[in-house]
Amino acid sequence: MLGFALLGIFLTGLLAGTHCAGMCGGIVTALSLSGERPGRPPLSHLLAYNLGRIGSYMLAGALVGALGAGGLMLGPGQPLQQALYIAANLMLIVMGLYLAGIWRGVTYLERVGGLLWRHIQPLTRNVLPVRSVPQALALGGLWGWLPCGLVYSMLVTAFVWASPRNGALVMLAFGLGTLPNLLLLGYFAGRLRPWLQRRGVRLAAGLLVIGFGALGLLRVTEFASGHGASLFCITPI
């Protein structure tokens, strides 16, 4: 079950390139300052930045996964699992609406995350401009906490899996899904970013993410009817 979910999460991260182009375009620009050629940062810097970013995602996933495990110990198992599973898939639908440019309600979550970001953002000044791999790694680790509605929706999913290990795996799959787009942005930002921001591309990506969420909700119906219990299995570890 987890393997199937991780595949869907990876694809969601891959489709989120339309969102990442806007959220992380500034970081790509900052990394470009360290390149030998203008607008073309070294691959080692891009890899280090993304390693730090994904590492932060995994840490956050492990933390919320641990919280989820603690919650299951305090409440009724199956009803609580089902409620959290529904919430996770509703978050995917909300994020799909955001990616498609239909509804921006998810930005309210980003505002909440902004309270934490106010304390982290000043630290980025210590590693800018980026001139070395350790600086790029540190910048990625800090920027992983940038308020992002898509990341928050994935953290809800990590919470549902109710395990530090599984929570970290969820965020690893998501981070790896976002990796191709961000690596390409580092080298072809001038051409790729405008294309990813096109209305049609954003709409298609958003509708696919909505489809993932809708499919998850259909599986809840199967679970409730007793015909698909094997499709919904969360085991705290």
- Structure confidence by residue, pLDDT tens digits, 19-58: 666 666 566 656 655 555 555 667 888 899 899 999 999 9
Q: Integer distance in angstroms from the first to the last C-alpha of the chain?
A: 15
Rg (CA), the chain: 18
pLDDT at 220: 73
pLDDT at 42: 79
**Range of weakest confidence among 18-27, 97-106, 149-158, 224-233:** 224-233
pLDDT-derived band at 3 (thresholds 50, 70, 90) equals: low
- Mean pLDDT for the chain overall: 77
pLDDT at 52: 95
Mean pLDDT value across residues 124-138: 86
pTM: 0.79
Mean pLDDT value across residues 180-186: 79
Here the tokens at position 80 are 């609580």
Mean pLDDT value across residues 58-71: 90
Instruction: Say whether the peptide bond before residue 38 is cis (omega within 30 degrees of 0).
Output: no
- Of residues 195 and 144, more confidence is placed in 144
Asked whether residue 129 carries a pLDDT value surpassing 80, the answer given is: no
Mean pLDDT value across residues 199-223: 81
- Of residues 15 and 52, more confidence is placed in 52
Mean pLDDT value across residues 137-163: 86
Asked whether residue 134 carries a pLDDT value surpassing 90, the answer given is: yes
- Of residues 107 and 173, more confidence is placed in 173
Mean pLDDT value across residues 127-137: 86
pLDDT at 229: 38
Q: What share of the chain is helix, strand, coil (3-state, %, to 5)?
A: 80, 0, 20
Contacts 24+ apart (CB under 8 A), 32-37: 32/186, 32/189, 33/128, 33/129, 33/130, 34/129, 34/130, 34/131, 34/132, 34/135, 34/136
Asked whether residue 172 carries a pLDDT value surpassing 50, the answer given is: yes
